[in-house]
Chain A
């Protein structure tokens, strides 16, 4: 089932002449994980805001092209501390903020909040004051707050930026599990090494345009490695002067050595 379709979308932020996103077309179906990669300013965050329905409705600016969204979207922004509601003195209440705003009955809110806390492995933090949490814990609380709203389209902007390696792995496992439930996930990340095991499709954004798209093997292609966007293994293989095609992961590299 199609969850999101962008057709020839171009977007300008207010008072700017150069578009932040230019002629981007994209379709995402349920159960699919799409990863956006690119350098800073490539337009990945803008694309997520458009997919969430926040640009231009909240950000202002101008959008050309068409956006069709067939489901409710939830977005996790990159800085967790600016996403706190400021209205909750416990983690449980913070996670319940969104579901309560949707007007759900109390028992539904409780069910979704408890499940989201469990999935993010933060149930022991339920009674803590969110402002006393570390960056990584807060990041998980914010993700739980979005998941508790049960969106069909989950948009994640640098979801592992504040997390330690184990926390990051937990988030990637969660992404796959969300896709397994039929949710569509679009994520922007610089943790490209995790993507071969997480993403179904990769979109390489460059200065607001789609430069390439394809399967995760795209992350081992010469152009991506040259742009510094390939996986570490592929980059090392290339830097060592070993021949293309470059291996995508450590497992691939080990097989090639044999």
Chain B
């Protein structure tokens, strides 16, 4: 799956939520959520299970809040759509490598800075995850336990969140300087080092997805 052109992966990840919101609820949302959750299982079920688990864990709080605010049918209708969005994004982050996306965008003539913003958004999740792990380890060394009672966990969460946010903000400054000195704002077209191949069949499939979305929209509005 990760061998697909980055634009194809983006198209799939964008089309599923679009269908989820266009098609009638709850069937449309649940069907697209099912599809989005099945996507990671296609290439490698063992790897896919981890991605699906992460997607479900991320979507669970949304279901909880929806249930507190709405009745059952509304919860299912909106929950299916939100799950589609979450699962599509989690799958995209898992399969799309930021460097391939940058190369693909640059090869298509996009500005490097714009491409970088897209790619940095995708790579932010694993980076923050790794940093959070380091902070948890550091806090453990100082006697804070992230396990045990709810009060304990909440205390640990505060001790994790604050340094996580502050260090991320601090790093932005340095990263900006580093990227600038490495020519991100050079104002010349970047040389694509290994532009991913874009097969005609994939291009056709992307257009087909777009047309399908438009057709579904017209059908719903008609």
Contacts and interface: CB of A to CB of B under 8 A. Distances in A.
Interface of A: 49, 52, 54, 58-59, 73-75, 77, 79, 82-89, 93, 96-106, 109, 131, 145-146, 149
B123 interface: yes
A122 B176 CA distance: 25
B96 to A, nearest CB: 12
A102 B120 CA distance: 20
Contacts of B123: 86-87
A85 B127 contact: no
A93 B98 CA distance: 13
Interface of B: 97-99, 102, 112, 116, 119-120, 123, 127, 130, 171, 173-184, 186, 188-193
A58 B180 contact: yes
B181 A85 contact: no
Given A87-B99, A87-B116, A98-B183, A59 B177 contact: yes
Given A77-B177, A96-B193, A104-B191, A149 B116 contact: no
Contacts of B181: 52, 54, 73-75, 77, 98, 146
Nearest to B124: A86
15 contacts: A52-B181, A59-B177, A83-B178, A85-B179, A86-B123, A86-B127, A88-B99, A98-B182, A99-B191, A101-B184, A101-B188, A102-B183, A102-B188, A104-B191, A146-B181
B177 A86 contact: no
A109 B189 CA distance: 14
Contacts of B102: 87
Q: Interface SS of chain B: helix, strand, loop or mixed? A: helix
Contact of A100 (B98, B120, B127, B190): B190
A89 B180 contact: no
Given A75-B177, A77-B177, A106-B191, 15 more contacts: A49-B177, A54-B180, A79-B174, A84-B178, A85-B182, A86-B123, A86-B127, A100-B191, A101-B112, A101-B186, A102-B188, A103-B186, A103-B191, A106-B193, A145-B182
* Residue from the set A52, A73, A85, A99 with the largest chain B CB neighbour count within 10 Å: A85
Nearest to A145: B182
A223 B164 CA distance: 42
Contacts of A100: 190-193
Nearest to B184: A101
A15 to B, nearest CB: 14
**7 tightest A-B CB contacts, nearest first:** A101-B183, A83-B178, A103-B188, A98-B182, A82-B174, A87-B99, A100-B191
A146 B116 CA distance: 19
A196 to B, nearest CB: 29
Contact of B189 (A73, A88, A103, A131): A103
Nearest to A142: B178
Nearest to B180: A58
